Every structure is written in C-alpha cells, then in structure tokens.
Structure 1
Amino acid sequence: MKTRTLKKDKVNIITMGCSKNLVDSEVLLSQLKGNGIDASHESNEKDNNIVIINTCGFIENAKQESIDTILTYADAKDRGLVDKVYVTGCLSQRYKDDLEAEIPQVDAFFGTRDLPALLKKFKADYKHELVGERLLSHSSHYAYMKISEGCDRPCSFCAIPLMRGGHISRPIEELVKEARHKASQGTKELLLIAQDSTYYGLDLYQKRKLADLMQALAEVDGIEWVRLHYAYPTGFPMDVIDVMASHPNICNYLDIPLQHGSSKVLKTMRRGTTREKQETLIHSIRDRIPEIAIRTTLITGHPGEGEKEFEEMLSFVERMRFERLGVFTYSHEDGTHAFGMEDTISEKEKQERADRIMEIQENISLEHNQKKIGNTYKVLIDKKESGHFVGRTEFDSVEVDNEVLIDAKKHFCRIGDFVEVKVTDATAFDLYGECKESQ
C-alpha cells in the first residue's frame, strides 16, 4: 500500500485564462474549504495529491496552454506524483468528448456550470450560505466581482456563448451582500467583470440595471474604488457614466472592447454598430467625464479585413487616442459564425498588423503619461517587486494597465494601502513617483 493513501487528501487548483475563470476558481476553493477539504490555489508545495485544472478555451494559444497543462499533470499521475486529476472550465465544456478520448488519465471532466457535480467527487455539497463569501487567491485589497455569467451576443469570432451559455445576471442584493463581506475582509477595490457587463439586469429586471448596481456598490462602507470592465458598446447605457461622474469612489475608468475601427469589418463581426457610432459614443463619454481613462481591445486579421480596412483601424486608433489599448490576433474558432468564412490572412501578417497598432499606441500612451509628470494621484499599492513598491491609479486596472513604481529605498508603503504619489517620471507604460508622505 502506498504511503500516500494513508494521508489526507490535499487539493491544488490551477487556473488558466481570464479573471472570470479566476473568480470561478475562488468559488471552488471556498466550497471545498467550506466542506472541510484541504485545498489551495496554485500552491508551490509538492504535497498536493489531487489537482483541479480550470481551463480556458477562448483562442488557440489559450487552448494550447490549457492542453499542455492537462498533459503535464496527466504525466505526473502516470509517474505517481498525484493521485487524481480533474479538469473543468471553458475548454472542458467545449471539447469534453475529445479530451476524454485523448487524455484518459484525467479522472473526470466538468463544464463551466458543473460545480455541484465536481464537488460530489469529494463527497461535498454546494453550500448556498457561502455565496458571496469566496476566498481570494491574491491579496485581499482588491477583488473581482462577476456580476453575470454567459453571453447573448452574436459576435462572429467569439466562442464564449458555446462555453458559457446564455446571459444570467446575479441579483443586486446578492452582489451587495458579497461587497459588504469583501469590505469586512479588507477589500478596498471591486473590479466588476462579466462577458457583457452592459447587458446586466435585462434578464432579471427587464431593463438594463448596471447603473443601479454600481450606485448600490458605491454606497457599501469600506469600498473605495469600483471599476467597470467589459462594457459592450452597442446599446451602451449612458446612465452608467452619470453614476460614475456622481460617485468619487467609482473609478473614472471604462473597459469597452470595440474590436475594430472599420464599419465593414464590424458588420462582418456582427457587432451591431459602426465606426462612426463608436466614435460618437467615445466622444460622448469623454464630454461627460473629460479625465476618464478608456481601455479598449482590438482584433487584427478577422475575415474581411483587407489592407484598406486595416488602415481604417490604424486611423481610428490615431484619432481616438485611447488611454489603454490591447490587441488580439484573430483566432479561427470552430463553431463560431466566422468559422464558415475563409481565414486568408497568415498568422505572421496578423501579428505584424497587431504590432503596427501597438507602435502607434505606445507613442500615444507615452504622451498621455508624460502629461502626468508633476501631478499627484491616489495610488493603491499592490505589491513589492524588484526594489519598488508597485501600485495603480484609478485609471489603471490590475495586471493589464500601467503601474506606478515607488523606490523602496526612499519610501515604505504597506501592501493594500492608498498613498498620495507625485509623478516624477514616465515611460510609455509606467509611471515613477515619490510618496508625498512616507508611510
């Protein structure tokens, strides 16, 4: 008999992909621990005998990374290093039958909404009393809050509805309860996430209720920042901007993926809008909140994007001068509407186009940042790294945006504290500053 079988099971959860997956993993961690099971998230210890891999299936690179991770732990099981391997999440939802056939070492595969079934493998029950009280996998001063699940949009390139299903909003009272619990645990920033945050409430309340939700969350004691992500531009509810402008603890920040700057490609993408409408929307938002930081994402190489359409997107980026911008290359995903279109642009060309956009954006970002030199900002300290305390302004989200670096030899900051920082220097994607008062 192996010595391992005499030991109590220890579970390690591995998360691939986006912040929405991270929230799912945190919910799973909370449920396991709530059932008395020894579990951790991405532990570096080698004493975990059960592994749960929460996979991503969004684009080709993410799928391959998830598959490679599954194969790594399947090999570990073959070598007796772990006893059981479970796989959940988007990739498992979408390709369960194929994965079961190709990787038989995995003990079971689960979809994106199969948490109760996964818990049964541990003789555990889903505890409704733990809803809103999930354990965080990172520092507690910020927390992602998933306000809805799934998506009803018909975007040509996106496989999310295939993996996550239709849109389901969480009730406002449930989210407020979660926010209060998080605040009691030291959380100061809530990052609102969803597949489509501006659709929030249509299923539950028969009208868009994102502004009402944001107002309710802004009124929770202890929450100093509320940050909005993944706002769909078509039918954007402008009352959200009014609420943002009226509450100082709602960050002047908007993550609004626009995906392209050509009306022809936007039509092919089935986005329900045009370049002209997108530009009008951005101008309207900036008119109401001139200091707002707008983050967007774009896709290069979608079917129908010729050189003319790509040049239109370059011109769009130059004119709109987004404060934050990221670029994906188009991934030809089976099951999506665009999969029936011919993918004629090479991966090399897609990447070269992405690089050209980012060259323009780097100069725009540098100009934006240099204007901040000499100004003082409220900064939330996230970590200490490479001789600096690293934080963010209200204009920057976790991991994807600019950071503020403070020389740790000159200043001491506590992780999770807000400090006033005067910007002394700037690069394209980072600010350097001095604390007005050392902490």
Structure 2
Amino acid sequence: MYLWPVGITGELIDTIARSEKCAHYLDIPIQHADDAILKAMRRPDNASRLRALIERLRAAMPDIILRTTVIVGFPGETDAQFERLLDFVRWARFDALGCFAYCREQGTPAAALEGQIPEQVKNERVERLMLAQQEIAFDKNASLVGSRLVCLVDRVEEDGVRIGRYYGQAPEIDSICIVEGCLARPGQFVTVKVTGSRGYDLLARAT
C-alpha cells in the first residue's frame, strides 16, 4: 500500500493491523528528514512526526515492512542536512529504500531556487545513503535465515527454480525469493524456509 505520511491516521493504522486482508506492507515516501528541506520541498511533514509515525506503525504491527523513497541534493541541502537524513535512515532501518538525486526541471519552483547542488556532490550523497541502506537490508535478510515464509510463485525458470515473493516484496520494485525444491505453479502459494540470501534476494527451499 502506497501512502503519503500525512495521510496515515491512527484509525487507519488500527484498521490495517486488525484486517486479515491487508498486507503489513507500506510504501511511505518521506522524501527527506530535515525540517528545513521538507519545508523547501513544500512537504507538510517534519522529522519528529515522521519518527513518531514509524514508531507507532511498528508498535501496532511488529511485522510491518516499510519502504520509502528519499531525494538528496535538493537546492540548498547542506552537508549537515544530508547527514541528518542519513542518520534518520540508519535509525528507521527501512526494509527497502529508493534514493534519487534531485533533478532540476525547468518551470518548477525548485528550479529557480538558489544553492543548486553540483552533480558530483549529489551522486556522492546517493552512493553514501544507498551503501548505508544496503547494510541494513543485508542485516534484515540475514535475520530471516531459518524462518518460514509464505510465497506467491510468479514464474518458473528454465532450471525449475521458482521465483516468488512474500508479503514484504512488492512486484517489480523489491527483491525476490528464489525457491528450490518447489513444484508449485505461478499463482500458487507455497511455504518456504529461508536458507540464505544473494544480494538483496532471499534464497529458500519449499517445505
């Protein structure tokens, strides 16, 4: 489920937590975690509200999967403001994260702002943030080894290996489960045991 942070109310959190038909997966684009940058982006959030939201979501649903997207190199972003975002990402430990360098689009309000960031600096910030997120993602994958998950089979490879997803993996944008010892067809669910990982993807065997 894709939701702007400002639209996530306590009532909605309780509804998702109680529902048997809602996957505990939310894609919440925070964009940044520095108050001044969020204001410049014309976002209605601030870092303290974002932090409180994440804490409330995890308190209500300990198994929730949180994905987000952030933008680095927005006009005027200082080194300190970028570090604030990086610290927030390390604290939040998102399950998945997309990071984009700000792109100056003519005709947009941000294009006219002072303090445009050099491309090299933007690229360096993207790399640093994604390396931090990679460490988090790999740690989370390691913590799943030995656990059992219910996977939806998406396709069958030529060697018979099944490619699927559990509820924490959205199609096309997230990682996948590579399942061995499985005869399930695409569209069927199968219980698997996680045996390891390959990069961001999980390795598993049908049980």
Per the TM superposition, whether the score is higher than 0.5 is: yes
> How much has 1:344 moved relative to structure 2?
2.2
* Inter-CA distance 242–300: structure 2 relative to 1 (3 Å threshold): same
Looking at structure 2, the residues matched to 314 and 434 of structure 1 have their Cα atoms a distance apart, in angstroms, of 35
Q: Which amino acid aligns with 2:132?
A: I
> How much has 1:282 moved relative to structure 2?
0.7
* Inter-CA distance 386–259: structure 2 relative to 1 (3 Å threshold): farther
Q: Which amino acid aligns with 1:412?
A: L
Pairwise mapping of residues 289-300 of structure 1 onto structure 2 (< 5 A)? Answer: 289-300=61-72
Which residue does 1:426 correspond to in 2?
A: 197
Which residue does 1:416 correspond to in 2?
A: 187
> How much has 1:336 moved relative to structure 2?
2.0
> How much has 1:428 moved relative to structure 2?
4.3
Pairwise mapping of residues 230-269 of structure 1 onto structure 2 (< 5 A)? Answer: 231-269=3-41
Q: Which amino acid aligns with 2:201?
A: D
Looking at structure 1, the residues matched to 101 and 8 of structure 2 have their Cα atoms a distance apart, in angstroms, of 25
Structure 2 unmatched runs, 5+: none
Determine if contact 1:366/1:427 at 8 Å carries over to the other structure. no
Looking at structure 2, the residues matched to 267 and 434 of structure 1 have their Cα atoms a distance apart, in angstroms, of 47
Identity in percent: 36
Which residue does 2:167 correspond to in 1?
A: 394
The 3-state SS of whatever aligns with 1:297 is strand
Asked if 1:280 is matched to 2:55, the reply is no
* Inter-CA distance 298–385: structure 2 relative to 1 (3 Å threshold): farther
Q: Which amino acid aligns with 2:155?
A: K
Q: Which amino acid aligns with 2:187?
A: G
Structure 1 stretches of at least 4 aligned residues deviating more than 4 Å after TM superposition: none
Q: Which amino acid aligns with 2:113?
A: M
> How much has 1:406 moved relative to structure 2?
1.2
Which residue does 1:345 correspond to in 2?
A: 117
> How much has 1:236 moved relative to structure 2?
2.2
Q: Which amino acid aligns with 1:423?
A: V
> How much has 1:343 moved relative to structure 2?
5.3
Looking at structure 1, the residues matched to 153 and 124 of structure 2 have their Cα atoms a distance apart, in angstroms, of 35
> How much has 1:239 moved relative to structure 2?
2.0
> How much has 1:412 moved relative to structure 2?
2.1
Determine if contact 1:258/1:297 at 8 Å carries over to the other structure. yes
After superposition, give the CA deviation of every residue in 1:261-288 in whole Å (9 maximum; x if it has no partner).
2111111111011111111111111111
In structure 1, which of residues 319, 336, 358 is the aligned counterpart of residue 91 of structure 2? 319
> How much has 1:248 moved relative to structure 2?
2.2
* Inter-CA distance 270–406: structure 2 relative to 1 (3 Å threshold): same
* Inter-CA distance 386–371: structure 2 relative to 1 (3 Å threshold): farther
Aligned residues: 206
Asked if 1:308 is matched to 2:69, the reply is no
Looking at structure 2, the residues matched to 326 and 345 of structure 1 have their Cα atoms a distance apart, in angstroms, of 20
Pairwise mapping of residues 375-386 of structure 1 onto structure 2 (< 5 A)? Answer: 375-385=147-157
CA RMSD of aligned residues (A): 1.4
Which residue does 2:178 correspond to in 1?
A: 405
> How much has 1:333 moved relative to structure 2?
1.5
Structure 1 unmatched runs, 5+: 1-227
* Inter-CA distance 386–296: structure 2 relative to 1 (3 Å threshold): farther
Determine if contact 1:260/1:266 at 8 Å carries over to the other structure. yes
> How much has 1:348 moved relative to structure 2?
2.2
Looking at structure 2, the residues matched to 430 and 386 of structure 1 have their Cα atoms a distance apart, in angstroms, of 19
Determine if contact 2:152/2:189 at 8 Å carries over to the other structure. yes
Q: Report 1 or 2 for greater relative contact order, CA contacts < 8 Å, sequence distance ≥ 6.
A: 2
Q: Which amino acid aligns with 1:432?
A: L
